[in-house]
Amino acid sequence: MGLMQDCIQSLNACSMAATMCAGADMTEMDMAKCTAMCSNMADMADATMRMMMRPAGMDMDVMKAMLMACVTMGKACAAECRMHADMADHCRYCAMACEDMVMKCEAMMASMAD
């Protein structure tokens, strides 16, 4: 349960940071890709978090697929935000939140190993 709680908290933090980054990116020139990546990351993290909060209906194969999708999206979003991190704090915070979420999702998947 501790691992699940850590993962849920990290997914929530990632969703919030990505939403804030996407909002800030909308006001800047040439940030369309970052805006879209962050918006997608926020949606994915939020959906995965909500699924984890309903353990009675959890299907392990589906949850593993969602976690893997979050890891993949998190790595891509972090990489995009890292490219702007030196000039935009919101991108730096988003990248950090994505990286933490990736780590927590990977730990959660490892605990679910068959």
For the chain, the domain total comes to 1
Query: Mean pLDDT throughout 37-55?
Result: 95
pTM, entire model: 0.93
- What is the residue range of 73's domain? 1-50+59-112
Give the model confidence (pLDDT) of 47-74 as tens digits. Answer: 999 999 988 878 899 999 999 999 999 9
Q: How confident is the model at residue 7 (pLDDT cuts 50, 70, 90)?
A: very high
Q: What are phi and psi of 87, to 5 degrees?
A: -115, -5
pLDDT of residue 43: 98
Give the model confidence (pLDDT) of 77-92 as tens digits. Answer: 999 999 998 989 999 9
- Local structure of residue 55 (DSSP, 8 states): G
Tokens of 18: 């990505």
Please report, for the domain that includes residue 14, its CATH number.
1.20.1270.360
Cβ 77 vs Cβ 41: under 8 Å: yes
Q: Would you say residue 114 has pLDDT above 60?
A: no
What percentage of the chain's residues is helix, strand, coil (to nearest 5)? Answer: 80, 0, 20
- 111: exposed, middle or buried (Cβ count in 10 Å: 0-12, 13-18, 19+): exposed
